[in-house]
Structure formats: structure tokens, C-alpha cells
């Protein structure tokens, strides 16, 4: 099977913490080096793609009749 949406698959966005002199804006919290959770669900997934993705796919969820 081939479906349309897979034409848009792309590698997951991975946060890069650049040195502050390479930022073009100044965060209210200047301690930017501690930005470790910029949308990534967990470190293990190393992605900022699915900010809210609950990694259990539907098939992994118990069928509780939601």
C-alpha cells in the first residue's frame, strides 16, 4: 500500500542549542543553555516533532471505549 501523506515524511526536527551569540533574539530567561525540553517529549525520542505526541499508538492503548 502506498498512501499520499507518506510523500511528506521527513526527518524529525532535533533541537540545536546554539551559543547565545548566534541567537537573533534575547529570551527573558538568559540562561538558554538549560533549554533541554523544547517540545521534546522525552530525551529518548530525541525529537521536537511531536510536541504532544503520546507515543502509545492507538493500537497500544487498551480499548476502554473512549
Partner 1 sequence: MILILTDSNDAHANYLIDKLKTLPYFRFNLDVASLLDTYYTFQNGNIQIKQSGRILKLRDIKCVWNRRNFVELLLEESYDQDMDFKLWKNEWNKTLTGIYNSLKSVPWLNPWRLAYIAENKYLQMEVADKLGFTIPETLISNEIGELKSFINQYNPVVLKLMNQDFYKTAENEFKGIYVNKISLKDLEKFGSSNENPIVLQKYIGKSFEVRYTVVGADHFVCKIESQASNIANIDWRRYDIPHTPHTAIEPPVHIKDKVTRFMKELGIEYGALDFIVDTHNNWYFLEVNSMGQFLWIEDLTDLKISDAIIKWFKTQLNLNINNYESVLN
Kindly write out the interface string for residues 2-41 of this chain, putting x where it contacts partner 1 by CB under 8 A and - elsewhere.
xxxxxxxxxxxx-xx-x---xxxx-xxx-xx-xxxxxxxx
Q: Give dist(CA 8, CA 61) in Å, integer.
A: 26
Residues 46 and 37 sit within 8 Å (Cβ to Cβ): no
Q: How many residues bind partner 1 (CB under 8 A)?
A: 54
Q: Give dist(CA 21, CA 44) in Å, integer.
A: 28
Kindly write out the interface string for residues 41-60 of this chain, putting x where it contacts partner 1 by CB under 8 A and - elsewhere.
xxxxx-xxxxxxxxxxxx-x
Q: Give dist(CA 52, CA 32) in Å, integer.
A: 22
Instruction: For the CB of residue 63, give the shortest distance to partner 1 in the complex, in Å.
Output: 10
Binding stretches for partner 1 (CB under 8 A): 1-13, 15-16, 18, 22-25, 27-29, 31-32, 34-45, 47-58, 60-62, 64, 66
Amino acid at each position: 500500500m502506498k498512501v499520499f501523506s507518506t510523500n511528506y515524511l521527513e526527518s524529525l526536527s532535533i533541537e540545536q542549542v546554539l551559543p547565545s551569540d548566534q541567537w537573533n533574539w534575547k529570551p527573558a530567561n538568559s540562561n538558554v543553555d538549560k533549554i533541554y525540553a523544547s517540545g521534546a517529549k522525552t530525551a529518548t525520542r530525541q525529537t521536537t516533532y511531536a510536541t504532544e505526541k503520546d507515543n502509545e499508538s492507538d493500537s497500544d492503548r487498551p480499548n476502554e471505549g473512549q
